[in-house]
Every structure is written in structure tokens, then in C-alpha cells.
Amino acid sequence: MTTRTMTISAIHAAYRSGELTPQQLLTECLAQAKADIHLAWISVLSDEQLAAYLKGLEGHSPDDMPLFGIPFAVKDNIDLLDLPTTAACKEYAYQPKEHAFVVAQLIAAGAIPLGKTNLDQFATGLVGVRSPYGACQNSFDPDYISGGSSAGSAVSVATGQVCYSLGTDTAGSGRVPASFNNIIGLKGTKGRISCSGVVPACQSLDCVTIFTTTAADAKAVWQVAGTFDPVDPFARAAVPAKAMPAAFTFGVPAPEQLAFFGDEAAEMLFWQSVETLKELGGEAVTINLDPFVQAAKLLYEGPYVAERLAAIKDFFRDDPTRCLPVIQTIVGGAEKRAAVEAYEALYALQRYKRVTDAELAKVDFIVTPTAGTIYPIADVEADPIQLNSNLGHYTNFMNLLDYCAIAIPSGFRMTGLKQGLPFGVTLFAPAFQDDALLAIADLWQRKLALPLGATGQEFPANTPVVAQPSNGMIDVLVCGAHLSGLPLNWQLTDRKAFLKQVTATAKAYRMYALAGGPPYRPGLIRDTDNGAAIAVEVWSVPAEHFGSFVAGIPAPLGIGKVELADGSWVSGFICEPCGLDGAEEITALGGWRNYINMKNI
């Protein structure tokens, strides 16, 4: 298990400081993957294949590649050109001719895959034990299930072998493993991440998911992975999310509708989670969970299971014994389903959705346990169908009803046989509210400050902040006469802009007092070798007024991207080098206010 902090911001900071190189990190990560004892991996890159990816980073840096040198894992039902795709079935394996669309986007952004991870065969299961490559072990206790079907993807992140991983989710496979391994599991809006190059489970419901240790990392990967794919017939273009109000409302199922399957410690942690949301500014509203649960039953107890057969029908019908017995039972059960049943289920689902949408409309989002309990591997192997079904109690309805969701760590059981095992909750909202949920998850993580996965490492205080969606606002960094109370601040306030953050830049900038004036103006220049942190403010400007604001900025100043102290980037004032003629460097003063106070201007 790594001793490094495997977050994007921490890795990029180490690259920028020269403490670490991509070759050092990726070589180290590949060695860890090869030595993994959790059965998280099915295959990994060779040293030669890794070298080819590293060569692709030459001439680049974190400044032009948002995922520069970031190691990631790929669930083995998602195509990676270098390695076979097995879907955890050796007889089904094939060699892809190209990367899956989402994998290609991530690599283009500088990320480097390490290999393919273990899963429940054909992504059918929430347990992580249905694999001929062995039962993937929980990152906290090897006797317990890792959760599935994205088992190895979650464990590889929780143990710090990679920074993030890709999973898939049809019925909870991108959320349950997150809960069982103390990490983030983002199941975004259906269709927002392309499924081109993914072995389908239920093609109309499948989602590619993201596992990380922080909401900030999930947001960074989401921004790249969510590129629209015109080839995927189920792909959907992004729709701006609505920001959650500071005083948000959240739905909580009625106590009698919650199921913990005898896990009293999990029940206690859930109600503690409700209190945490209240402490973050939320108001709890009781909602009726029953229609959600009834809709969920359609997925496995109705004809929707026939879509799993449709995904592999030729392979399955030629010789079903090539699949594990439990997969034969589940997929084979679809043979007796009729088309009439499918339409009846579709009509029932629409009726349920009308009711569940009305429940969700009462609040900004709903919170549930991600799973009501967790089981030992031996128990699941003895009762594979029922215990798996129990784990889907809160997850099976999500894609059927077209909601987005994020699974977040909530704490650790303090009593009982399962003491020390993690527990998590899921926040879900209407489609396209992904960015708003990510921001709530970030507030949550900062509040609880739980350790990262199973590494024991503290939640990094300098993790970039995940802001709520802008709701038609554009953030702009100011560093001079536009600061609060200074002569040009009216140009912001008259446009109904508001102060969002008082902060500082990264230690990578130099500041100059430009010639001329009044008004006297500073110039901000990026210099990663000799720069310092400069005091700044971030203002939110209504989008309809942003153009007129920028149009009034005189040369040599302009708007570009500026890095903040937390590693995030924002649009802000920068200066062209030609503007430094006759300028006085004032970097050592740390900001414009200190300069004008010293000069008494």
C-alpha cells in the first residue's frame, strides 16, 4: 500500500516541485499493481507498454494536460487497446482494436492506465466474488466482500494503487464498492459518459462511473470523461446543473421504510449522516421511498433482465456453461420472458417515475444508505442470489428512473462483528445535477475529514474546493483596482457581481506596479520558478455582463487562467510581458493592497 497521497492535486504539486516525475510514480504504481494481494487486477501493462504512454507526456505538463501523469485503472468490461477485454469470462475475451471512447479522452488529457480490474462476470452482481479470477477482497478486511461489480476498480483506488478508476453501473456497481471501501463513487447522469467500447450489461441503463478518494478528484475526472460522444446512441450532451442553495433541503426515507438487514451499526451511522447534512445547512424532509423500491424490483424480478441476455445472447446460447453458475441462473432466466411483459414493465416504470419525480421535487436531493449492510465472502458464496439482492435495495432503481447519484464515505462501524468496516451513504438528484452533488460531497468530506480509502492518510486540507454550479455566473479573479473598496470595484458591483472568495494565487506569480495612472494598476505574470503567492479576490459575474466587463479592460491587461493556492484554476487578470516596460516589481509585498498602503495612493 502506497505512502504517497494519491490525489490529483498532490501528484501535480509533486511534479511541479521536481520531487517526483511521471516515470517514477507510474513505475512505482505498476509494481504495486503487480504485487497486489486483493485480487483487484485481471491484467496490467508491461513495462514496454507503460514506457509508450510515458513518452506521450513529453513536452507537456499539468499546465496543458489536466490529468498529466495521473495513474488510473480500467474495469475489465471497458476496452483498453493494450490488453484483452474479458468481462471476467476467459472464453469471452477479445482483443480490442481501439480504446473505449472515455478511455481515449482520459489518455488525451494526460492520464495513464495501469491495467484492467476484476469484476463480477459480465458486470452482473454487487458483490465482487463472481469472477473466475477470484473473489476480490475488501480493502479493510480480506474476509469481507469488496462490493461489485466494479470490485477491483474500487479496491485499486482505496489501497492507493491508482489515483482514480473507471467502473460501470447498471444497478449499483459504481456505488456499492465505494461504500465498502471508504471512497467516492460517482454515477453520473445516464449517457453523460460514453459507453462506446464498453461490454453492455443492460445497454439502455449502463453508466460508466468514477471512483476516487476525494470529490475534487471526481470532479476533475468527470470534466474530461463527460465529453459528448456522437457515436454512442445513448449519449447525452451536458445540461448546466442548478446550484444547491446554501440552506438546502434533503429527503430522508421514513424510518419504517429503511432496511439494514440486522446491521445496527450501519443504521446508527446512517442517522449520524442525516445529522451531518443538517450541520452543513440542510433541512431534512421525510419522503416516501416505497415507489422507488417498487420500481427497483422491475430490474431483476421483471423482464428487464432480458436486456442482460440481449447483450451476450450468441455467446450465452452457444454454450451457457462457459458462464459461472450464478450468471447462468440470472441471465438464463431471461429466456422465458415475453415481449408483452417488457411493455407492461415499461408502462409500470413510467407510472412509478411520475410518483418518484414528485417525491424528489419536494427536496434538492435525497439521501439513503448506499447499502444497508455488508457480508463476509463466505456468506455470499453460500447464498449468492438473496444477499446480492439485499445489497441492491437502495441502488437498483437509480438508472431505471434516470437519476444521478454519488456515493460518499460516512464513517466506520464501532460495534459488532463488522467493527472497523466502512459505511457510506448515497445522495441522488434528478438527471444533470451531477456538479451540484459533487459540491455537496466536497463539503461533506471537509466536514468529516475521514481518511483516504484504506490508506490511513488524512484528508488533505489543501484539496481543491468543488464549487457549486455557477447558475449563469462566471468567476473572475481580480488583483488590483477591482478589489473590494478600491476605485474600479464599481465595475463589478454595477454588473451585480458578488464577492465569492478572498484567497491567494499559487506560489507561481510575480506582481508589478505598471507605469502610468491613475488609476494605478498591477500586472500579474506567471513564473513557476521565482513566483510567490499573491493576495487576490474571486468575484462571480453574471454571464450576460461578463462580455462588457472584459471589453473595458485596457491593454496590456487581459483575462487568462490563474492558478489558486488550492490548485484550482480560475479566469482572471493577467498582464502581457510588453506591459512591464517601466514597471516596478512588487512581488515581495504579497499583494496590491500592501503596495497602495505603502505608497499611500
User: What is the rounded CA–CA span in Å between residue 430 and residue 282?
Assistant: 18
Cβ(369)–Cβ(180) under 8 Å? no
Alpha carbon 61 to chain centroid, angstroms? 22
Cα dihedral across residues 79, 83, 89, 90: positive or negative:
positive
Whole-number Å distance between alpha carbons of 8 and 194:
23
Instruction: Kindly report the length of the chain.
Output: 601
The residue written with cell numbers 456515493 in the block is: 407
Q: What is the DSSP letter of 518?
A: S
For residue 119, give the C-alpha cell: 469484476
Q: Which of 139, 146, 149, 165 is catalytic?
A: 149
CA 396 to chain CA centroid, nearest Å: 20
Query: Helix crossing, 215-225 with 101-108: angle to 10°?
Result: 110
Residue in 9, 75, 116, 165 annotated catalytic = 75
What HEC string does 411-449 produce? EECCCCCCCCCEEEEEEEEECCCHHHHHHHHHHHHHHHC
Catalytic residue among 150, 153, 165, 173: 173
Question: Looking at the DSSP assignment, which residues form a beta bridge with residue 113?
Answer: 72
Single out the residue of 452, 453, 478, 454 nearest to residue 463, CA to CA: 452
Task: For residue 32, give the nearest of 165, 161, 163 by alpha carbon.
Answer: 161
Is 173 noted as a catalytic residue in this protein?
yes
Cβ-count burial of 223 within 10 angstroms (0-12 exposed, 13-18 middle, 19+ buried)?
Answer: middle
Give the catalytic positions in this structure: 75, 149, 173
